[in-house]
Homo-oligomer: A and B are copies of this chain.
Amino acid sequence: MDFTIPERTQIICEMMDEFVKKELFPLDSIGLGSTDWAATEKELGKKREMVKKMELWAPNHPKEFGGMGLKLMEHAYVSEVLGQSSLGHYVFGCQAPDAGNIEILHQYGTDEQKEKYLKPLVEGKIRSCFSMTEVDMPGSNPTMLETTAVKDGDDYVINGHKWYSSSADGAKFAIVMAVTNPENSRYLQASMILVPSDTEGFNLVRNIPVMGHAGAGYFSHGEILYQNVRVPQKNILGGEGQGFVMAQDRLGPGRIHHCMRWLGICNRAFDMMCKRAVGRTIAPGKKLADKEVIQSWIAECAADIHAARLMVIHAGWKIDQVGASAARKEISMIKYVVANTLQKVLDTAIQLHGGLGMSSDTVLCGFWAHERGARIYDGADEVHKVSVAKQILKAYRME
């Protein structure tokens, strides 16, 4: 039994923490409200240069491509630190969805694709998106995908209607999930195909206004119509019909980093709560922090964050021990636990801040609005609960 964080990881985290607090906290409103992407990109580009000079760029990506090559659990702690700011992952070159796409290209890409897409992606010169969720189909049911990729000569011809393709605006390419093998059994019908965004028929309809913000560039969620989009068959990534398996693989370790990013937000909100509590006078000589109701909120949030964090760390450790597949239960569990902890902590932090919490003068309401999606995307709470229960009950059914 050992909860010690290795010294090297600690040092990296401390360096990043200092940078995030000093350089990114003042800019956080950008991430949560950016509309002029050109200006934003330029400003964040300067920070990226600073990060590269500090040799903290792309912590999770392979050294051969210019990353730091951190292992699963090392990057977990890094992700928690970066998650404190809405800009952290982007500025340090380990942002979703590019991070996941890089993994796929690394594992399945041809040399040509690696040269053309993977390299500049790791370097932060281009961006990409991942196009799976469909407007009319439930994200929770992977067998109900309407987008198709039909072979025609040497090409695939893709048709479909996707949305919540995050960061599609300005992306160089999309990895599209499409049904290539409708004759297969339900989990083996779809494939991942690389589609450059300048291909004819790739139509970014709009940036979906989420909580009233359409956003722009990296900070946006695209609705895309694929209309007779023609790409060479070699653009397939991994084998035919392997799309879901690959999507699952992508989610496992990625979930650890994702959840640690959420915990970074929790930590920041919690820190703000405590500062506000000791700073806010509510009656002569009496601070908010003196009230037992406020104290109980702080004690409950502290426990919730602590518990959620231990679960994520444990899940990461288990992946390291037995692999993502054998840790599937733990990976599902942290999804609903951390997402709900995040919502509760942000809600409490806003309540504690009163009117200030409602205003964009702090980051709280931005996080609260945008991260409401945490309980929905990548499998809603309900989907993961059913999944966890089925895994548990399977053993009992066999008795």
Which residues in A have some Cβ–Cβ distance to B below 8 Å? 1-5, 32-33, 73, 133, 138-141, 143-144, 163-164, 208-213, 274-275, 277-278, 280-284, 289, 291-296, 298-300, 302-303, 306-308, 310-311, 313-314, 316-318, 333, 336-337, 350-351, 354-355, 357-361, 365-366, 368-369, 372-373, 375-377, 380-382, 384-390, 392-393, 396-397, 399
Main secondary structure on A side of the interface with B: helix
B388 touches A302 (CB 8 A): yes
Measured in the bound complex, the distance between the Cα atoms of B142 and A15 in whole Å is 45
User: With a CB–CB cut-off of 8 A, which chain B residues contact A4?
Assistant: 1
- Asked if A299 meets B385 with Cβ closer than 8 Å, knowing A307-B308, A317-B3, the reply is yes
**Extra 10 A-B pairs, beta carbons < 8 Å, given A1-B317, A208-B359, A303-B337:** A2-B2, A3-B318, A211-B212, A211-B365, A275-B396, A292-B382, A295-B389, A295-B393, A298-B388, A298-B393
Q: From A136, which residue of chain B is reached at the shortest CB distance?
A: B281
B350 touches A2 (CB 8 A): no
Q: From A76, which residue of chain B is reached at the shortest CB distance?
A: B1
Q: From A286, which residue of chain B is reached at the shortest CB distance?
A: B141
Shortest Cβ gap from A47 to chain B (Å) = 22
Shortest Cβ gap from A202 to chain B (Å) = 21
The list of the 9 closest CB pairs from A to B, nearest first, reads: A295-B389, A299-B385, A209-B360, A307-B307, A310-B310, A299-B388, A2-B2, A298-B389, A278-B396
